[in-house]
Amino acid sequence: MATPSYLTLYQDGTLGRRLEDLLKRMESCRICPRACGVNRLKGETGFCNTAREAKVASYNAHFGEEAPLVGKHGSGTLFMSSCNLMCSFCQNYEVSHLNEGVAIPPEQMAAMMVELDQRGCHNINFVTPTHVIPQIVEALIPAIEQGLHVPLVYNSGGYDSTETLALLDGIFDVYMPDFKFWEARWAQRFCQAPDYPEVAMAAIREMHRQVGDLMVDHEGIAVKGLLVRHLVMPHSVAGTGPIARFIAREISANTYVNIMDQYRPCGEAHQDEIVNRRLTAEEFREALEGAEQAGLTRLDQRERPRIIFGI
């Protein structure tokens, strides 16, 4: 296994300096593109409803992720509470919108990471980390001191600040962002983020600059690189074709992309006539064809038995 680069950053003191810079960005919060400007270090909260301490909803060895992350022993997943995007159709609505979870100090988060490492998990996978990046880096330092040595996965909604991402260069080995919407009108309707498309494009460019295409070891386990997720939605509102063309032409045709079919109306989606139903088989088939026609050569190949029941 390749040595995670965060170990070098810890040894030469860079990790500590990065943490200082990240904490400063919380004083008038500019951690994410919302740029709320609140002083989270003093207990103020903005869009993400998270102040100084991060909250964790759960942590476990997760086997539902992509094969390069799961391997034999699972992806060591920490589900962070709340979110900076708040999609109205979120499948984890209780965690993201209702902020279910427990506030924990960095030492406790570090213990969770080390425990998952010791259980044999192939990586530590932070789900929805964008709004709590300083707290994660703060916990990483004691985790390293306790022996953490597996790759870190940044599993975000894609609504990430390039300035914050620049401070993560060399800390995260695998970036796994969503690219949710191509059109601003849908991002505004479902996430109150009309700038989402341009933000996601810039973020994915920066992520790829840092880690390149996904690389796996001799067992097929991810060691470094970019993996992009895209959830296909009813009525083509996600914009699969243009997103696939952007990735193939401006990032890399060899980008590992998971075109996902598991959309179902959750949260507030039942109240919206555009997304209040599941996908049809035809909608998903068209999305896959669009990704292939765009020139993407590395699509996730998991079995998708659900689509045969579409109507």
Span 289-297, average pLDDT: 96
71 pLDDT above the threshold of 80? yes
Question: How do residues 84-123 score in pLDDT, each as one tens digit?
Answer: 999 999 999 999 999 999 999 999 999 999 999 999 999 9
In the chain the first and final C-alpha atoms are separated, in Å, by 45
- What residues contact 98, with CB distance under 8 A and at least 6 apart? none
Span 251-268, average pLDDT: 97
307 pLDDT above the threshold of 80? no
Q: What is the distance between the alpha carbons of residues 172 and 151, in angstroms, rounded to a whole number?
A: 7
Q: What is the distance between the alpha carbons of residues 117 and 32, in angstroms, rounded to a whole number?
A: 28
Instruction: Kindly compute the dihedral angle of the four CA atoms of residues 295, 299, 131, 64, in this order, to the nearest 10 degrees.
Output: 170
What count of other Cβ atoms lies within 10 Å of the Cβ of residue 228? 26
Token pair for 238: 């996600």
pLDDT band at 1 (very low <50, low <70, confident <90, very high): low
Nearest partner of 75 among 63, 89, 59, judged by Cα: 63
> What confidence score (pLDDT) does residue 308 get?
34
Distance of CA 134 to the CA centre of its chain: 15
Instruction: State the CATH architecture for 5-309.
Output: Alpha-Beta Barrel (3.20)
pLDDT band at 202 (very low <50, low <70, confident <90, very high): very high
Tell me the CB-side half-sphere exposure of residue 246, using CA atoms within 13 A: 20
311 pLDDT above the threshold of 80? no
> What confidence score (pLDDT) does residue 224 get?
97
302 pLDDT above the threshold of 90? no
55 pLDDT above the threshold of 50? yes
Token pair for 215: 């690389």
> What confidence score (pLDDT) does residue 2 get?
72
pTM for this entry: 0.95
> What confidence score (pLDDT) does residue 309 get?
30
- Could you state, in order of their start, the residue ranges of all structural domains in the chain? 5-309
**Helices 184-191, 196-211: crossing angle, 10 deg rounding:** 100
Q: To the nearest whole percent, how much of the chain has pLDDT over 90?
A: 95
CA separation (Å) from 80 to 84, 155, 239, 291, 309?
11, 10, 27, 30, 33
Span 5-33, average pLDDT: 98
At 285, give phi and psi (nearest 5°): -60, -45
Q: To the nearest whole percent, how much of the chain has pLDDT over 70?
A: 96
E strand or H helix at 46, and its extent?
none
